[in-house]
Chains A and B, each alone.
Chain A
Amino acid sequence: MSNSVKQTRREFIKVVGISGSGLILASFIPFNNVLANVGDDPKIFSPSVFLKIDSNGIVTIIFHRSEMGQGVKTALPMLVAEELEVDWEKIIIEQSDADKKYGNQSTGGSTSVRRNWEPLRVAGATAREMLILAAAKKWNTGTSNCYAENGFIINKSNGKKYSYGELVEDAAKLPVPTDVKLKDPKDFKLIGKRVHRVDTPDKIFGKAIFGIDVVVPGMFYAALSRCPTFGGKVKSFDAAKAKSMPGVVDVVEISNGVAVIADSTWRAFKGRDSLIIEWDLGPYANVTTEDIRNEMLKHVKDEGAELENRGNINTNIKDEIKLDAVYEVPFITHAPMEPMNCVAKYQNGKAEIWAPTQNAQDAQNETARVLGISKNDVTVHITLMGGGFGRRLVNDYVVEAAEISKACGKTIKLTWTREEDMKFGFFRPPSMSVLKGSVTKDGKPAKFYHHVIAPSISQMRFNKNLKAEESDIADGTIDLQYQIPNLKITGTLIPTHVPISWWRAVYNSQNPFAVESFIDEMAYAANKDPFIFRKEMLPSDSRLANVMNVAVEKAGWQVGKKLPAGKGMGIAIFSGYESYCAQIAEVTVNNNKLKIDRYVAVIDCGIVVNPDTVEAQLEGAIVFALSAALKSEITIQKGGVKESNFDDYPMLAYDETPVIETYYIKNTYKVGGVGEVGIGACAPALTNAIFAATGKRIRRLPVKLI
């Protein structure tokens, strides 16, 4: 009967690949029908941790990363299914728990598809080859006389076939081959097709279970009061009033503050609001954004530690036209629509966690650490996520929930409010970029110098002694593909106590803004069309040049053409995550009022697994990056965050969203990243367009026109 327990955790999906106009969503496979077909004890064939086939022919693909809207719960199983030759409409996709047997489960850095491209196809191909061998043996024929198709092994000479289910027992006895042959990309049947997302119907019908929706029998609800300043802590507290509130069952202190446990979320919130806490505000109680900015400003005249050096930036060039500028971006936060939350159950030295986490193995380790138990005694169930964008790579909310569960001896769901999400985030660090450059009088680039001044995430999170040379702060400006004869990149690390972390694209959200804006300034100084100026700096056969050429064509960019007053087009390009992206923004500025009319984005991410999700990720990245460019700023005041909700930390709305056209390049290059690739070029395309429209150069985000 253990089997039927497993069955209930399975998710039945039925999706149809779409091509051309024929878009159909087939109805779901009724749950009971499938159960009826399943014997009491089906044999299981599972040559890899990523899939299992039972003797009833049911194929289950294990999804081991985290789905936060980027579509990998569809894309990764597609990789297995492609090689396995199964009917995509009939597979079951099962979300894994945290377990190192799956390898790296951390869902960040646009890595899910490119890091699993080979292992998951190998998993599918291995099973396929074993099923072929099992069938060949039954028929007493050679494997070359057999092939796999749609869940069957077919005998070429007589057309007979075995279903996978019929071969499970025999295949399970075979040794697992180590050198299977993968399909030639030209033979792909699923990869490259527009496949419907497996989780869409549940999400739009309100049935999908996000972390915040998890209900575990006997569960209570928790809310936590945290110190309003970074680095502060509880001095003393009075829980009497909170304890007298309806539904409140306990009040406990944990390392991050004081938690109220109640029989509903709202009662936990109300109880938490009734706590009387005296805080020790800690050493940073008076810190403001200006203090941190002044710290960066101090280094604007410094040289910075050398990170990259080509040619000689100090060489003398006759009649060079020099320019310099300082670019700057603020702290910002992720603000996914689903606030942080976690269900934790600590009992008898074992913990069970249900978490919307991008980093499940870290959640497992962190829970074990804080509870003082072995990580083998921690089970982490990964739930769907209402957005992640990097925020859920840090498992602070999991640690809090685990501590609360242990302290009160109950299973609890900790839910953060939006206000807490704004104030207790892990922020995208601010940065300042000092740029100096020159062009020759015949319009060629001569020098480019970029000094990045910023707090380092890798320094804060991994190694306090990290030097600028070893840090992450210059990502997005190091290794530029532009062929500029004299180039130097330097960096200065700024210490900060404000928690910082990875925000979609990380430093690729800020450095390309400075670089691509300044390149634009250089183009104007050289009296060149910004597209032509860039094109002349790139090898003509490069993939980056190619996406730019395609974007120019799609957007109708006309070299040297001035648009009517108040209108402008801006171009910017980006390479990273083994992919390439060009974007062209078209804006209208009237009386200092900005309207973004259109974005054209072209991506080359090598082989495309699911075109529809690639396009969706580009569209989403543009809206996300535009919110940051136009609206987002986290202000530190009195040692904490001033912003509290979507009224003072607004985001782009429906009517402000431009028409977005996305294109991808069809090729068979190695699979590249997608989720973060659309961020880098977005802000500079916008501000370059604003310059083209108004002559005003935006050097500080968020954009202010007056």
Chain B
Amino acid sequence: MPKYKLNVNNKNYNVTVEAGTPLLWVLRDNLNLTGTKYSCGEGLCGSCTIHIDGKAERSCIVSVEEAVDKKITTIEGLAENPDHPIFKTWIELEVSQCGYCQPGQIMTLAAMLDSDSRPSRKEIDNTMSTVLCRCGTYHRIRKAIDKIVEEKQ
């Protein structure tokens, strides 16, 4: 059985799983980092979004071997800084309803803002429209993003 060395939230882990195991399940079941959520398993919803070398990726369609030697950040890692403007604004505007999609929303947005602190509306639309929310919090996500982007300027 192959062993993989992973770096998650700046910690090193060794996991023993079959090649091809989606990173999502390694994070959730092997490392007990359950903030990364499973919803579609097909890259269609964004609930499982994490950062790999700073880029937003869907952990349900990234295999464990693809993540070796990369820097992985999950929502738990981002939450090490609870004062991140996204968290503060999310709480201030009470964006979350059931909350299940929110780690994915936040990780997707965080990666976008890291790469471009003043994204255009079109860029925001394109990026955020790939992350689904069944509770329908989009309206507040938009308000929150507008606020974050405005305050950055």
Contact = CB atoms under 8 A, between A and B. Distances in A.
B135 A69 contact: yes
Contacts of B133: 337, 623, 654
A385 interface: yes
Contacts of B45: 337, 646
Contacts of B38: 212, 265, 339, 415
Contacts of B18: 246, 267, 270
A203 B96 contact: yes
A657 B25 contact: no
A654 B127 CA distance: 9
Interface in B104-142: 106, 125-126, 128-142
Contacts of A213: 28, 34
A196 B21 contact: no
Interface string A315-337: 00000000000000000000111
A266 B21 contact: yes
Interface string B64-79: 0000000000111001
B136 A619 contact: yes
B40 interface: yes
Interface size class of B (residues with CB under 8 A): 35 or more
A646 B32 contact: no
B140 A616 contact: yes
A704 B41 CA distance: 29
Contact of B94 (A417, A616, A655): A616
A660 interface: yes
A265 B138 contact: no
Given A264-B29, A418-B39, A25 B91 contact: yes
With most chain B CB atoms within 10 A of its CB, the pick from A337, A418, A646 is A337
B91 A620 contact: no
Interface in A564-617: 612-613, 616
Contact of A209 (B17, B34, B125, B137): B34
Contacts of A204: 75, 79, 87, 90-91, 95-96, 99, 102-103, 106
Contact of B25 (A196, A264, A386, A654): A264
Interface in A352-401: 384-389
B125 A337 contact: no
A624 interface: yes
A533 interface: no
Interface string B1-12: 100000000000
B149 interface: no
B51 interface: no
Interface string A186-215: 000000000011011101111111101101
Contacts of B47: 337
A622 B135 CA distance: 10
B141 A654 contact: yes
Nearest to A678: B136
A593 B99 CA distance: 32
A613 B140 CA distance: 12
A182 interface: no
B35 to A, nearest CB: 2
B91 A70 contact: no
Contacts of A270: 18
Contact of A335 (B25, B95, B134, B142): B134
Contacts of A70: 97
Given A209-B34, A619-B136, A645-B42, A654 B96 contact: no
Interface string A257-276: 00000001111001000000
A266 to B, nearest CB: 4
A204 B87 CA distance: 7
A216 interface: no
A200 B35 contact: no
B62 to A, nearest CB: 13
A386 B37 contact: yes
Contacts of B136: 619-624, 627, 652, 657
A200 B37 contact: no
A338 B98 contact: yes
A205 B75 contact: yes
A418 B96 contact: no
A647 interface: yes
A657 B142 CA distance: 10
Interface in A612-659: 612-613, 616, 619-624, 627, 645-647, 651-657, 659
Interface of A: 23, 25, 68-71, 196-197, 199-201, 203-210, 212-213, 215, 221, 246, 264-267, 270, 335-339, 384-389, 415, 417-418, 612-613, 616, 619-624, 627, 645-647, 651-657, 659-660
10 contacts: A204-B87, A207-B76, A246-B1, A265-B25, A338-B98, A388-B98, A418-B40, A654-B128, A654-B142, A657-B139
- 10 residue pairs, one from A and one from B, having the closest CB atoms: A206-B35, A623-B136, A386-B100, A203-B99, A69-B98, A206-B75, A69-B97, A205-B79, A213-B34, A620-B136
